[in-house]
Amino acid sequence: MTERPVITALPWRRDMRPRDPEETHRVSTPLELFFDLCFVVAVGANASNLEEALAEGHFGSGTVSFLLVFFSIWWAWMTFSWFASAYDPDDAPYRLATMVVMAGVLILAAGVPQAFDDRDFRVVFLGYAVMRVALESQRIRASRYDEERRASLMRFVIGETGCMMIWAVAVFAAPEGWRLAVWLLAAAAELAVPVWAEKAAHIPWHPHHIAERYGLFTIIVLGESVLSAANTIRDSVGGEGALDLALVAAGGLVTVFAMWWVYFSLSSAGLLTRFRVAMVWGYGHYVILASGAAVGAGIAVNAAKATHHAHISTTAAGLAVAIPVFCYFVVVWWLVVRPHGADAPHAWGMPLLAVLALAACFTPQPVLVIGLLMAAQIMWSILAHGGKAEVSRA
């Protein structure tokens, strides 16, 4: 007679104590994966708006809008993900609070077009308000059980609530000419809150868990670029400019594959045990993630150029891919590859590759040339390291 499996019911409530930062086999939970899925909508909407702006030749205003909106998306994801790494009891109140945060993310995503086109962040602010109510309630709850870090958790609550007041001024009260300046002040205040709060006591995030969470968000933004390449392949089948579209699709797809390859060549978990290094690593990912999303928009712009729907020069269209590729490879090299030493995979090739990607803009097929450069870098790295396994499980 076979034994019946033991069914463990979800506990209504657990003590919200800090999790062990050295806990083995700590991986992202199904709830965290569901949480990430909500950000796909916001990232996709922002990248789509960037594509339209670049195709119309609005490079300056489009890029600024993209970066402002992406900061709002990235920071919302980041503040919750670091907190969840340290305090995740996986009980009913925590799950419900997380779902409220997810609802706020979807409100934020609904406000992306308005924020991008008109710099009107009212809907985005509403999404943030919903997210912050849920997140701060969990910080307060954690402070009841973690006396050692109560001061740090309450600093987060006070600091992030104060930032919401600055956001309110930037969105609703600042004169037109001062709105951007107040917005940047609010963003700077947000960046300062974790540094100030952690001075009271270190929040025990899990290094391997954080590295995995960032890796998953990197896959989300690269997924937007894969989608752009896939759409280009679809449009090239029997359509106008089929050959040019096929070359853009091939170069774009290889480029995105290479971006994934180099990021996951080495583990960053060992770098995150020191607070200052972890902060630089975490904040620096803003450039990596924004660049990853922008590459997809650049591929779409080059596809529009191939079908004569984007009336910009070939060089300008190439720069729409080359600039984010340059930023991505330089910052990945600096944060992920360089700390592992001169013998690490891609340690010498990536900075040169980033510069060559910019030079590729002056060729007739810039996206294809960038893709060929990426493929050459990967092959050189594989041969130079004797076929040693590079991909990290972290």
Q: Place 389 in a pLDDT band, splitting at 50, 70 and 90.
A: very low
Averaged pLDDT for residues 267-278: 89
Q: Place 213 in a pLDDT band, splitting at 50, 70 and 90.
A: very high
Q: Give the list of residues 6+ apart from residue 77 with CB closer than 8 angstroms, or none.
A: 36, 39, 105, 217
Closest CA to 49 of 36, 40, 58: 58
Radius of gyration of the chain (CA): 22
Q: Place 5 in a pLDDT band, splitting at 50, 70 and 90.
A: low
Cα–Cα dist 122/168, whole Å? 9
**Does 179 have pLDDT greater than 80?**
yes
Domains parsed from the chain with CATH numbers = 30-198 (no CATH), 207-384 (1.20.1410)
Cα–Cα dist 209/214, whole Å? 9
pLDDT digits (tens, 9 = 90+) for 302-343: 988 888 888 899 999 999 999 999 999 999 999 998 888 777
Q: According to the model, what pLDDT value does residue 392 have?
A: 46
Length of the chain: 394
Cα–Cα dist 151/98, whole Å? 23
Q: Mean pLDDT lowest for which of 80-89, 171-180, 211-220, 302-311?
A: 302-311
Q: Is 280 in contact with 335 (CB distance < 8 Å)?
A: yes
- The residue written with tokens 């919903």 in the block is 130
Q: Place 352 in a pLDDT band, splitting at 50, 70 and 90.
A: confident
pLDDT digits (tens, 9 = 90+) for 12-48: 778 889 999 888 888 999 999 999 999 998 999 999 9
Closest CA to 346 of 389, 370, 382: 382
Q: According to the model, what pLDDT value does residue 391 have?
A: 45
Regarding predicted confidence, which is higher, 198 or 11?
198
**Does 99 have pLDDT greater than 80?**
yes
**What are the helix (H) ranges across the chain?**
30-55, 59-86, 92-110, 112-118, 122-145, 150-168, 179-198, 207-236, 242-263, 275-306, 314-332, 349-359, 366-384
Alpha carbon 229 to its chain's center: 19
Q: Is 125 in contact with 168 (CB distance < 8 Å)?
A: yes
Model pTM greater than 0.85? yes
CA angle centred on 90, ends 72 and 75, rounded to 5°: 10
Cα–Cα dist 126/286, whole Å? 22
Averaged pLDDT for residues 254-262: 93
Cα–Cα dist 113/125, whole Å? 14
> DSSP string covering 16-77, please?
-PPPPTT-TT----HHHHHHHHHHHHHHHHHHHHHHHHHHTT-HHHHHHHHHHHHHHHHHHH
State the chain's mean pLDDT as an integer.
89
Cα–Cα dist 207/298, whole Å? 33
Cα–Cα dist 358/350, whole Å? 13
Alpha carbon 337 to its chain's center: 18
DSSP 163: H
Q: According to the model, what pLDDT value does residue 324 have?
A: 96
Q: Give the list of residues 6+ apart from residue 85 with CB closer than 8 angstroms, or none.
A: 19, 205, 206, 209, 210, 213
- The residue written with tokens 């940047």 in the block is 184
